[in-house]
Chains A and B, each alone.
Chain A
Amino acid sequence: MSTQQSIAQFISTGLLDGGREIGIDDEVVLDGTIDSLGVTRLIDYLEKEFGVAIAPHDVTIENFRSATTMAALVESRQTAESV
C-alpha cells in the first residue's frame, strides 16, 4: 500500500472508526472531518508509522489538506533526515 493509501486508511479506520471511506485527495481538514484532536492523533500516527519528526511549524492546512499532501510531507521529512 502506498503512503497516501495508508494515511487515508488510518483516517477512515483510526479516526472515523471505519464510519466512512476516505479517498487520498479528500479534503479532510477543510470540510471539518478532522477536528483538533484528530490532528493531534494524525501527527502521532505519521511520526510513529513513518519514523519522521513533524515540527509544529509544519502542522499547516496545506500539509494536512489530504492524504496526498500528508504523504508529501512525510516524504520530504524522510529525505531531509536521510541527508
Chain B
Amino acid sequence: MSRATPPSSGSMTYLLTHLIEQAAEVDPAHPALRHRGQTLTYGELLERASALAHALIEEGVAPGDRVGILLQKSFDSAIALYGIMAAGAVYVPLDPGSPVSRLAFVLRDCGITRLVSEERFLPTLSALGEAGVRIDTVYGIDDDQDAPFTAIPWREVATRPSTPPQIPTTEQDLCYILYTSGSTGTPKGIMHTHRSALAWAEVTVAEYGLSSSDIISNYAPLHFDLSTLDYFGGARARATTVIIPEEYTRFPASLASLIADERMTVFYTVPLALVRLAAPGTLDGRDLSSLRLVLFGGEPMPIKHLRHMMLSLPDAQFVNVYGPTETNGCTHYRVPAVPDERDLGLPIGRPYPNVTVMVVDSDGAPVGVGGKGELLVRAPTLMRGYWARPDLNEKSLVDVPGVGGRPDVYHATGDLVSPTEEGNLAFLGRRDRQIKARGNRVELDEVEAVLLEHPLVHEAAVYALADAEGSLQPHAEVILIPGSEASVKDIRTHAARALPSYAVPASIAVRDGFPRTSTGKIDRLRLQTDAQAGRSTMAGATV
C-alpha cells in the first residue's frame, strides 16, 4: 500500500490546522461538514475557526492553554476544535452527559478556565460555578446573561479576522487532551501532539484510500477518540464529514436512512451501532449501497451481528480497528469474508505501517505463536503521556532496548493478545477482565462471546462477583433478540457446552437493556457495582 504524499506546507512544521488551511486553498467550496441537512465548506470552516482563534487570543489564551468544549456535536463543535488549535491552544472535549462532579474534576485537573459552549448547558455551567470551579470566559453564549463569567456570543466572534493568526506552534506541541475513565474511576487525560494526531490522519488516508470524494460519518462524540479519524482523516483527504446528531444513535432505522440520504461512503463506529443496525428488519427499505468501508472499534464486535451486516452489505469492506486512545489505531483486521457463525471473535489483525508491536508475558519475555501476553505498542501515533500523572506514565510507557541498545518507548496497553499462525493478533480481553475463578483463569470477554453465540441472545455482558467464600465467579446479563423468548436454562446449557464449569456464569439474568457509557460501551462496571449492592437498575427477570 503506498503512503500518501504529505501536502506541501509553507512552514517547516505541519499542524492539524494546516489540514483545513490546505483544503480551503485547494477547493474552498468543497463541503467540509454536513449536519442536519446543512453544509459548511472548507472555506467557511477556516474563516470561522480563524475568527474564533483571534477571539480566544484577545481574551488572553496563550499557546499551550487548555480550552474546554462543552457542546453537542454540531458545526460549532468542529469550529471550536479547529479554532482552539489555531490559537495555539489545546482542545479538551467534555462529555455533556457527565455528572457535574466529573466535569469539575476535568476542568480543575488540566486548569481550564475558558470554554466554548451553548445556551442549553447554562445550568451545567452554573452548577460548575457553584461547585467552586473558576470559569472566566465562555464563547458561544449570549452576553445578556447574568452570568459570573464573560460571555462572548458567536455573532461577536464573527467580527474578528477570518484568516488564521500567526502562532509559533510546532508539531511537538499538544493539540488535544481526551479524558477516559481510569480503572479506578478517576479520569485520566491522554495528551496528543500535532505530530501524533497527524500521523494517525496520514495512516487512515493511506490505508483506506480516503479521498475528496468520500463522505465520512462522524458517529462518535468529540471526547471519544474515534472522532479524530472522522475529522482529521477526513480533512487530510479533503473529504466531507457528516456529523450525526446524537439522537440518531438511539434510532437505528433513522441512522440507516441518514447513511442512505447522505450517500455516506465510510462509516466508522462502535460495534453497538452495527449491533443495532443488524437487528432484524431495521435495514428494510434502506439502500446503504453507498458504503464502501465500514470501520469499527472500541470493543469486540459480536460475530453474529457482523455476519448479518456483511450479508446485508456485500460490497462493503469491513475492518476491525484496534487501538487504545493512548496510541490511536495500531492494528487492524480487514475481514476477508463473512465469518463462520461458530467463530468466537475477530482478530485485531496486523500493525499499521510504522507500528511495532511486542507481546510479552508477565515477566516481560516475548511470547510466540499460540502464547498469551500483554500487547506493547510503539508508534508515531503514540500519545505524549497522561496529563499530570507521572505515576501512570511510568507504568504505561515502558522502555524496551532497541537497535544498538537505545531504549524505545512502548505503550503497555493492558490488553491481552495471542499471536496466531496466520500472523494476526487474536484479542483475548483486557488484562483486568481476566479473573481467577477457583484458581482457574477465566477471560470474561470469552464468556461473553460464548453467550452471544446463542441464537436468541442479542447482547451479553459478563462481570465478576465474589461468592460467599471470596472467590470470584463470572455473572452474566443478556438481552434477547427482540420478540424472542429463550429460557435462562437453555442459555446456561449452551454456555456449559462451550465453557469449562468454572467459567459458566453463576447467574444469568435477562434484561431489557444495559446501562451504557457515553461512548456506547456497555457499562459493565455499573452492572457489577449494582449487582454487588444487590440492586438492579434495569427491569427484568433474574433466574
Chain A residues with CB under 8 Å of chain B are: 29-30, 32, 34-37, 39-41, 43-44, 55-62, 64
Contacts and interface: CB of A to CB of B under 8 A. Distances in A.
Contacts of B252: 56, 59
A40 B513 contact: yes
Contact of B253 (A34, A36, A41, A57): A57
**Would you list the 3 A-B pairs with minimal beta carbon distance, nearest first?**
A37-B513, A56-B281, A57-B284
B285 A57 contact: yes
A35 B251 CA distance: 10
Contacts of B284: 55-57
A39 B250 CA distance: 8
Contacts of A29: 247, 250-251
A36 B513 contact: yes
Nearest to A34: B250
B281 A44 contact: no
A4 B246 CA distance: 25
B539 interface: yes
Nearest to A59: B253
Given A40-B513, A41-B512, A44-B512, A57 B247 contact: no
Contacts of A30: 247
B353 interface: no
B279 interface: yes
29 contacts: A29-B247, A29-B251, A30-B247, A32-B247, A34-B250, A36-B250, A36-B516, A39-B251, A40-B512, A41-B539, A55-B281, A55-B284, A56-B253, A56-B279, A56-B280, A56-B281, A56-B282, A57-B253, A57-B281, A57-B282, A57-B285, A57-B286, A58-B253, A59-B282, A60-B257, A61-B247, A61-B248, A61-B251, A64-B251
B254 A60 contact: yes
A82 to B, nearest CB: 21
Interface of B: 246-254, 257, 279-286, 482, 512-516, 538-539
Nearest to A35: B250
Given A32-B247, A61-B247, A62-B254, A56 B512 contact: no
A60 B251 contact: yes
Contacts of A59: 251-253, 282
Given A56-B279, A60-B251, A62-B254, 20 more contacts: A29-B250, A35-B250, A37-B515, A39-B250, A39-B251, A40-B512, A41-B512, A43-B482, A55-B281, A56-B253, A56-B281, A56-B282, A57-B253, A57-B285, A57-B286, A59-B251, A59-B252, A59-B282, A60-B254, A61-B251
A32 B246 contact: yes
B221 to A, nearest CB: 13
Contacts of A44: 512
B513 A61 contact: no
Nearest to B516: A36
Nearest to B96: A32
Contacts of A39: 250-251
Contacts of B514: 37
Contacts of A35: 250
A56 B482 contact: yes
A61 B253 CA distance: 8
A76 to B, nearest CB: 15
Interface centre among B254, B257, B279, B285 (most CB of A within 10 A): B254
A25 to B, nearest CB: 17
Contacts of B279: 56
A11 B516 CA distance: 20
A36 B251 CA distance: 8
A28 to B, nearest CB: 10
A35 B538 CA distance: 13
Contacts of A41: 512-513, 539
A56 B515 CA distance: 21
Contacts of A40: 512-513
Contact of B254 (A34, A36, A61): A61
Contacts of B280: 56
A44 B483 CA distance: 10
Contacts of A62: 254
A30 B245 CA distance: 9
Nearest to B511: A37
Nearest to B515: A37
B98 to A, nearest CB: 13
A55 B515 CA distance: 24
A40 B284 CA distance: 19
B253 A60 contact: yes
Contacts of B248: 61
B288 to A, nearest CB: 13
A55 to B, nearest CB: 5
Nearest to A55: B281
Nearest to A53: B483
A45 B141 CA distance: 39
B275 to A, nearest CB: 11
Nearest to A47: B483
Contacts of B513: 36-37, 40-41
Contacts of A34: 250
Contacts of B515: 37
A42 B147 CA distance: 38
B281 to A, nearest CB: 4
